[in-house]
Structure 1
């Protein structure tokens, strides 16, 4: 059944709302050749499709945005270069660019605050901020109250303890760190809420471009910690939003 058939069936009473919603979740995507745009992801997952910009041409990104704009979807795209933003700005004047996070946003529908509490983003150091900003803006765009505290790593752990009021009031914590990646373990031992650990590729040679911090986080002895991939601020922000909506 296509969308028109489903709507007619509901109107005629042949299909109940729950069954119709179930069928809508599996409606076909829109095939534009180089991409298959999933307009019904928000029905299945609660959020519209997010565009991953790295590896795509400016024209491909613009084409995907065009199809999503036709449906009135809010647009979030990650790993976007400044040159790509400059190109898109000429087509979509309302576009916003978060340069540190490398994220573009277009708000076609008002973003409602759906989160139940606050998401807090922490970084071990200043060099971790770009990844943390990706997490911050992702979680905020998905309808959450988000705060950030940067440069509170274990090399000067008193800086972390000086922010305990904010840390203890969060519903979900994202801890972003490179080097040896110890920050999530410390935070996980202090709080009673989920901690999402994000390893970054920041560090000297034996850091192996983030592998050392990834392994530290995976081997943490603190309970309640989940780990996303190296430099995956988007994944952390998305997961934090899902947890905060529960």
Structure 2
């Protein structure tokens, strides 16, 4: 239940187009719906502005499909993350209008009609970081942000990053995904005057320790506008990026170029 949908429902009651009992029946699943295996939080959009998201890993395809259907029936935009192809088939059988991104392992369904609000740039150091970057990008797109993808611009070839500097300057928030030593967010942070969300990825050889090296490097960034999410957490970065972009839409600026 979105704030817009709730207000429309109350307006129908006020105009006499719907009885209070009928409205109450529509709200019967608030604040949550018990599916037996899951209690779906239909109240989250009203509390935080974005609906609950389905983490598909560890759930059966049938469980994910039923949760997805419950959220879809509420009229909100729906996102499932870490979904394999079998799970995607189960969801798409019920919702053929949904989209499966096999690289990001996401299933998304846009149901709201609204103008894009806020601009999120998603940057990744190398092609191996694409699954995490795409998870962030799809998350931001699903929840209504304009997304610019800037991929394979790692610090080993700094000219590649400088070539997209104007694209970075246009964003309200920048998400940077990198493995190995995790240096890219610090460099990006020095180029832009907006929040940078760093995402360490589990990409690299033995001493990368599954992304721990990148994580520690990002936590110790000398760029004060850099904040860090968990290893491989593209979803968390995309979700937070949407909230930041919504609050600062139109104010993105480059540290050296000034206001746009």
Q: TM-score, normalised by structure 1?
A: 0.87
Equivalence for 1:126: 127
Q: 1:111, 1:142 within 8 Å by CA — same for their partners in 2?
A: no
Equivalence for 1:92: 95
Over 3 Å counting, the alpha-carbon distance change for 1:148 and 1:223 in structure 2 is same
Equivalence for 1:245: 246
SS at match of 1:181: coil
Paired residues for 1:30-179 under 5 Å: 30-115=33-118, 118-179=119-180
Give distance in 2, aligned partners of 1:220 and 1:137: 26
Structure 1 residue 57: Cα displacement: 0.3
CA-based RMSD: 2.2
1:15-68 CA distances to partner (integer Å, 9 max, x unpaired)? xxxxxxxxx9xx531111111101111000101111111100011011112222
Give distance in 2, aligned partners of 1:232 and 1:60: 22
Structure 1 residue 126: Cα displacement: 0.7
1:56-104 CA distances to partner (integer Å, 9 max, x unpaired)? 0011011112222322222111111012112222222212111111110
Give distance in 2, aligned partners of 1:175 and 1:182: 10
Over 3 Å counting, the alpha-carbon distance change for 1:168 and 1:112 in structure 2 is closer
Give distance in 2, aligned partners of 1:68 and 1:161: 42
Equivalence for 1:14: none
Structure 1 residue 111: Cα displacement: 4.5
How many residue pairs align between the two structures? 227
Structure 1 residue 112: Cα displacement: 3.6
Q: TM-score, normalised by structure 2?
A: 0.82
Q: Any stretches of 5+ residues in structure 1 without a counterpart?
A: 12-23
SS at match of 1:146: strand
SS at match of 1:55: coil
Q: Any stretches of 5+ residues in structure 2 without a counterpart?
A: 1-5, 15-26, 248-260
Over 3 Å counting, the alpha-carbon distance change for 1:156 and 1:111 in structure 2 is same
